[in-house]
Amino acid sequence: MQIQYPGLNTFAAQGFSAIPGYIDQHVHVLGGGGEGGFKTRVPELMLSQCIKAGVTTVLGLLGTDGVTRSVENLVSKTKALNEEGITAYCLTGSYGYPTCTLTGDVKKDVAFIQEIIGVKVAISDHRSSHMTKEELTRLVSDIRVASLISGKPGLVVFHLGRGKSELSIVNEILDETDLPIKHFRPTHVQKIQQEAIAFAKRGGFIDFTTGRDTSRTATYIVEALDAGVPPNLITISTDSNGSQPIWDENNELIGLAAASMGTMQKLIRALVFEQEIPIANAIEFATRNVARALGLEGRKGSLAPGYDADILLLDQHLNIDTVFARGQLMMQGGELKVKGTFEQ
């Protein structure tokens, strides 16, 4: 029997697979870049980029540039994306330390700004502030207290570069303090594959950036699984609208590109078709696992009663055909039904 009630719309979905909308937890919603001068600032994220990529929830953040971009701008953009129909959160901070904030205090940013659920900082990178162990311990401690006060997950997201220190400072803090590992969130972990595997075996989430070569990233993920990393501690994100600089041996910029949110689906396809991971398992790296990592379990990451109606319909080739975000039809048959406020 077909359910009927006023305003009900039905959609023919025979032949499609229905999965939860993707959660992209590392997105430069204001644009990243700038390492090659003002002309290399990557443009802001547009709503249509998210919809076409099947991303219905984003976590926005700043990157290298916490000077010409601000947390105030970031929170404003996050609010705008929520108003336009998807779900958005953000992090205070950027690469640098002392941390750039909105209120002047990291704890207050997390406790009082609804959209802010943690902080970002860079380690093991020539563009970082090269924090001392004491400084980083204090930052994580502040986030720990803010998370308890606010009921938020309290993330400290670590941008990881290719520096010599890798995760050593994080491991020392975990060894020497009582701070829970759940607050430590390394990303771009394929740069330090073996260190990341060891961190995950301690019980921490590790986040792989999809990258330009999604086949290679899929291989890294399988290597981590084969090494004994629990599948539910692996997440993926795109670094969308962030810069992808190319450095020479002296850390001088010799090339620059911008990351694309479309690599999320490309990586899912690579995991399924190249690595032969079942689709139900592959999508969890971008859905259920991320929801758990962000404290959104019970609302995001699954198709179940009580969850937001973030739904993707995939064809037999795992192409995204239809997108619903919070129950609203955003794309059907590959055609956008909703665009950002200033998109043509």
Q: Does 211 have pLDDT greater than 70?
A: yes
Distance CA 72, CA 116 (A): 11
Which residues share a beta bridge with 246? 255
Distance CA 255, CA 248 (A): 9
Q: Does 101 have pLDDT greater than 70?
A: yes
The residues, any chain, with a CB within 8 Å of residue 311's CB and separated by 6 or more, are 18, 19, 20, 21, 303, 322, 323, 324
Model confidence pLDDT, tens digit, residues 280-336 = 999 999 999 999 999 999 999 999 999 999 999 999 999 999 999 999 999 999 999
Give the active site residue among 24, 239, 310, 321: 239
Of 211, 203, 228, give the one whose Cα is nearest residue 292.
Answer: 203
Is residue 104 within 8 Å of 140, Cβ to Cβ? no
Q: Does 111 have pLDDT greater than 70?
A: yes
Model confidence pLDDT, tens digit, residues 237-266 = 999 998 776 767 877 766 777 889 999 999
Q: What is the mean pLDDT of the chain?
A: 94
Model confidence pLDDT, tens digit, residues 5-52 = 787 888 888 899 999 999 999 999 999 887 788 988 999 999 999 999
Q: Does 2 have pLDDT greater than 70?
A: no
Distance CA 311, CA 328 (A): 10
What fold is seen in the domain 21-305?
Answer: TIM Barrel (3.20.20)
- To 10 degrees, what angle do helices 193-201 and 214-226 make? 40
Is residue 207 within 8 Å of 236, Cβ to Cβ? yes
Q: What pLDDT, on a 0 to 100 scale, did the predictor assign at position 8? A: 80
Q: What pLDDT, on a 0 to 100 scale, did the predictor assign at position 142? A: 98
Q: What pLDDT, on a 0 to 100 scale, did the predictor assign at position 177? A: 98
Question: Would residue 239 show up in a list of annotated catalytic residues for this protein?
Answer: yes
Q: What pLDDT, on a 0 to 100 scale, did the predictor assign at position 1? A: 58
Reported pTM: 0.95
Distance CA 328, CA 310 (A): 8
Q: Per-domain residue ranges for the chain?
A: 21-305
